[in-house]
Amino acid sequence: MLNVMRQTERTLRVFLATPLGVHGQGGIDRLTDLIIANIDENTELGIDPVRLVTRGQRSLVQASFIFARALARLWLAAKRGEVDVVHIHLASSGSAYRKMILAALARQLRIPYVVHLHSGRFDKFWWGAKPTVAKAIDRLFENSSAIVVLGEYWARVVSDRVPASRGKTTVLPNATLPGSSDRRSRQDGRVRIAFLGKIVESKGAPQLIEALGQLADRDDWIATICGNGAVGQSRELAQRLGIADRVIFPGWLDAEATAAQLGQTDIFALPSFSEGLPMAVLEAFAWGIAVVATPVGSVPEVIEHERNGLLVPVGDATALARALRRLVQDPDLRRRLGQAARQDHATRYDINVYTPRLALIWRDVARAKQLKHL
């Protein structure tokens, strides 16, 4: 037994299955970038992380070759004894199909794997899937060595479908880098509102622009809607609402540009229709920004209305406009909500707190495998 414990303290080689790769445009890849960077900075964790790209940032045709290469890479590493744990970041649709195949290969190679559920639409995807697909997803969770979910809501989603998951599920909210306390103010004195994410209906982008249109009577704000997606249509909507001169669309921002944007933001808005736990909300927390969001997925487990942010009903542009108007005209409220959010981030959502917890899950999984084979 002592020998087994000593073996588990060696450096673990963990393959992290992530969709797009380094600097990918999405929350999973942003989180993976942070995890790997944090592990590299903290060698005492004893983890050797390996990024396994399963989708890539090219066409769907090329994506199939990228996925095949990922499978081959995992197979070769396993045959050489160079992989201890596979960490599977899971979303809905195509991601789910790829990860079911990847998990099946891991089982064949007798490599323990961890399922890390992210998608804000996975519940609907799972419940609405054909019976054969739904059962395959069930097996993906049932045969995992551990399951990581973003909040209690997602733990219930999994346990209701797969009761055997209850003893191996860990609630581990997403995490980000800490923000800076050096917030820059605009010389014109206008309150700065920001949105970060894909500009699509599921993120509530049309409702946000409609809400901003209801603030057209005020000239003390400016909004920056960052992301790719329906940029042209959103510009046209802003033009029709008479606020085109106060709404900026800079496109997708990388990590450095995102930090620069948050450093000059007073209010962050994300009125989504579905979410797992958005990285953008946690990034806003890190910078001490007052957040307005909708109570979807695990968001209401993070945002406590009136304490560290404001929650508005899904799809309600008028309620969103009221919340934004309230924050624009009340700097004390913005400050109070932002301070509480920053404190919560430091204790619960800081990547420096997160990564050791994740490393402990991997070590427990590797230890369980070794004990099983004694």
87 and 154 together in one domain: yes
* Residue 287 domain-assigned (yes or no): yes
Tokens, residue 164: 């055997």
304 and 357 together in one domain: no
* Residue 358 domain-assigned (yes or no): yes
112 and 251 together in one domain: no
268 and 298 together in one domain: yes
Q: Would the pTM count as exceeding 0.85? A: yes
* φ, ψ (nearest 5 deg) of residue 47: -120, 135
The pLDDT assigned to 370 comes to: 81
> For residue 186, what pLDDT band results from cuts at 50, 70 and 90?
low
101 and 213 together in one domain: no
Domains of the chain: total: 2
The pLDDT assigned to 60 comes to: 83
The pLDDT assigned to 8 comes to: 43
* Residue 244 domain-assigned (yes or no): yes
Q: Residue 184: pLDDT above 80?
A: no
202 and 327 together in one domain: yes
156 and 299 together in one domain: no
145 and 281 together in one domain: no
Return the CATH number at 333.
3.40.50.2000
The CA distances from residue 117 to 99, 112, 122, 224, 292, in Å, are: 11, 16, 8, 30, 24
* Residue 180 domain-assigned (yes or no): no
* φ, ψ (nearest 5 deg) of residue 152: -65, -35
276 and 139 together in one domain: no
> For residue 215, what pLDDT band results from cuts at 50, 70 and 90?
very high
The pLDDT assigned to 82 comes to: 97
Residue 244 belongs to what domain range?
191-349
* Residue 54 domain-assigned (yes or no): yes
18 and 157 together in one domain: yes
- The tens digit of pLDDT for each residue in 57-73 reads 888 889 999 999 999 99
In angstroms, rounded to a whole number, what is the distance separating the alpha carbons of residues 164 and 160? 10
76 and 131 together in one domain: yes
199 and 89 together in one domain: no
* φ, ψ (nearest 5 deg) of residue 272: -70, 155
* Residue 183 domain-assigned (yes or no): no
Q: What percent of the chain has pLDDT over 70?
A: 95
* Residue 182 domain-assigned (yes or no): no
